[in-house]
């Protein structure tokens, strides 16, 4: 692609993208990454970014997300339990978080203030949330 400035009068310039002969309109040239599906990659990426930022901003605090726990909330038949209110307790600390409509919850004990040797989880039905 070639970016070419095109005059827009007093408003300045608009960048016009000109496709080269080898490119075609509609060709996907960018995308996204699901950090939860590619968690090891995400942890490596944040580690590299952390090192780079700490050199220039030594007081910047990165949360440690490497201790992620995937919680799957199910009913007694093994079906996912959508939107359950999940309470996590570790010692004197606790936090309440909602499960997704797929019954999944990602818990980050260090980030959520739940450091400790044991973790207790309880789930209760949602108020008015549907899994549909």
Lowest mean pLDDT among 17-31, 67-81, 90-104: 17-31
Whether 15 has a pLDDT exceeding 60, the answer reads no
pTM above 0.95, yes or no: no
Where residue 78 falls (left for φ over 0; alpha for ψ -120 to 50; beta otherwise) is left
Does residue 112 contact residue 119 with C-beta atoms inside 8 Å? Answer: no
Q: What is the mean pLDDT of residues 98-121?
A: 88
CA distance 93 to 107: 14
Choice between 4 and 44, residue whose per-residue pLDDT is larger: 44
Answer yes or no: is pLDDT of 2 > 50: no
Quick one: pLDDT at residue 5? 43
Q: Residue 129 — pLDDT band, cuts 50, 70, 90?
A: low
Q: Is the pLDDT of residue 13 over 70?
A: no
Q: What is the pLDDT of residues 35-47, one digit of tens each?
A: 888 899 888 988 8
Write out the DSSP string of 19-59: --TT--TT--------TTTTHHHHHHHHHHHHHHHHHH-TT
pLDDT of residue 88: 92
pLDDT at 22: 55
Contacts (Cβ under 8 Å, ≥6 apart) of 103: 72, 73, 74, 80, 81, 82, 84, 131
**Can you give the pLDDT at residue 132?**
39
């Amino acid at each position: 692609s070639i970016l070419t400035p095109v005059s827009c009068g007093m408003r300045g310039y608009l960048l016009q993208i000109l496709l080269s002969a080898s490119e075609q309109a509609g060709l996907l040239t960018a995308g996204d990454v699901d950090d939860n599906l590619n968690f090891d990659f995400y942890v490596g990426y944040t580690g590299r970014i952390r090192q780079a930022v700490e050199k220039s901003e030594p007081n910047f605090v990165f949360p440690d997300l490497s201790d992620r726990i995937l919680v799957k909330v199910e009913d007694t038949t093994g079906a996912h339990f959508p939107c359950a209110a999940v309470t996590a307790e570790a010692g004197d600390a606790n936090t309440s978080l909602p499960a997704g409509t797929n019954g999944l919850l990602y818990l980050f004990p260090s980030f959520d203030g739940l450091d400790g040797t044991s973790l207790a989880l309880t789930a209760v039905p949602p108020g008015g949330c549907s899994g549909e």
